[in-house]
Amino acid sequence: MKNKHEHHPLILASASPRRQELLERIGITPTQIIPADIDESEGKKELPRDIALRLATGKAQKIYETHGDKTSFILGADTVVACGRRTLPKGETQKDAHHCLNLLSGKSHRIYGGLCIIAPDGTIRQRCIETRVKFKRLSQQEINDYVESGEWEGKAGAYGIQGAAEVFVKSIQGSHSNIVGLSVYDTMNLLKGLNFFK
C-alpha cells in the first residue's frame, strides 16, 4: 500500500468506483465525489478521441461551476472505446454486450481516456490518453458466458479489463490503468504540474 500524499482538496467529478480506487492506489484520496450530470450524447461525425476529451472537460467544468470553492482541484475523466471510427456504447443491455463483444472479437480497438483537471484558480489542464487493445477471436460460448456474468454492465465497450474479460486480451499497447478508467501516470503528472501536492 502506497503512503498517502499530502495534497490539496480534490473533487472527483465521477461516480466510478474504479477511478476512486485508481486514485487511492497512487496515494490520493478525493475529499468529495460529485458525479457531474452532463449531456453525454455523441455529436454528429464527432471522433471518439474528441468525445472523451469533451466529456471529461465538461464534467470538470460543471462541478467547478456548481461546487468550486477556490481551494479544491476538480478532476473529470471519461473513457471511450472505439473500433475504427465507431464509438462503442456503454453496456446497458445484454443486446449492447453481445453487439460490442462480437465487434471486438479478433480485432484491435482503442481506448481513449479523456482527462481534465481544473485548479482552484481556474487553470485547466487536459489530456487524451490512447491505449490499443487486441482481443483474441471469441467463440459464441465465451461471449454468452461473459454476458451472463453481468460484469459488462455500465462499462465502456461492455467489458472490464480488470475482470474475467482479461483472458480475451492478446496484447496491450499503452496504459493499462487507462483501460480501467484513469491513466494514473498522466493524472499524477498533470497534478504535479499544477502544484497539487503540498
Strand ranges inside 13-152, DSSP E: 32-33, 73-83, 86-87, 108-118, 124-135
Of the residues 37, 50, 69, 78, only one is catalytic, namely: 78
Q: Is 39 among the catalytic positions?
A: no
Point out which residues pair with 76 in neighbouring strands: 116
Pairing mode, strands 73-83 and 10-12: parallel
Residue 107: phi, psi to the nearest 5? -125, 165
- Sign of the CA dihedral running 170, 140, 88, 93: negative
Pairing mode, strands 10-12 and 32-33: parallel
By annotation, the residues acting in catalysis are 78
